[in-house]
Amino acid sequence: MTVHVACVVEGHGEVAALPILLRRIHQAVAPSTPLHVARPVRVPKTKLVRPDGLERAVRLAARLCPRPCALLALLDADDDCPAVLGPQLLARAEAVLRDIPTGVVLANREFEAWFLAGLSSLGGKRGLPQDVSHVDQPESIRDAKGFLGGLMDSPRSYSPTADQPAFTATFDMNAARATSDSFDKCCREVERLLRSPGKSLPSG
């Protein structure tokens, strides 16, 4: 049975990057089970957090995905606390998707903080120095995009639409899970959702 996943994201880079991330996690969990990731529905965070903003987005994403399916919404936490905003958004999404397993993940502070958590694995790629080193407390960096851009060879600068999918395809996820609590949360949520729609993936 094919596992179908619908997605809601806030950024242009995540439209391409999140399906790549889902496929990598799926490959690690159950590579023999077919996976279909619908093109993510993109809505700016400012709209998603407004009353009925997230609800409209998840309804649309669910309509675009074959059943049975699961849904994942991924946002940057920015200055919000993921442990507070995440459960609030999840409750809102679950209230309108009663028959679809749903997850909400907030990257603390940005999706790019997950790259910083596995930064040494990206050395020599897309303008980063070959000997780029580990970053302490990557989730405490306020502007992870700018931090990455500052490491890149001049005149290169970080581009979410170009670099985010490329880094997502290559960064060391195990290293990132060990350093980033929000990325570990993301992986656990994805693993749960992949098993939910048709109970088709092994539970062990």
pLDDT tens per residue across span 110-146 = 999 999 999 999 999 999 999 998 888 999 999 999 9
Which pLDDT score is estimated for 203? 38
Write down the pTM of the prediction. 0.93
Q: What is the mean pLDDT of residues 154-178?
A: 94
What is the chain's mean pLDDT, rounded? Answer: 93
pLDDT tens per residue across span 1-56 = 898 999 999 999 999 999 999 999 999 988 888 999 999 999 999 999 999 999 99
CB atoms within 10 A of CB 174: 11
Model confidence band, residue 200 (pLDDT cutoffs 50, 70, 90): very low
Could you tell me what percentage of the chain is helix, strand and coil, using 3-state DSSP and rounding each to the nearest 5? 50, 15, 35
Q: What are the backbone angles phi and psi of residue 78, rounded to the nearest 5°?
A: 55, -120
Which pLDDT score is estimated for 197? 63
Q: Does residue 204 have a pLDDT over 60? A: no
Q: Does residue 155 have a pLDDT over 90? A: no
Cα separations (Å) of 143 from 9, 76, 78, 184? 19, 11, 9, 20
Which pLDDT score is estimated for 199? 45
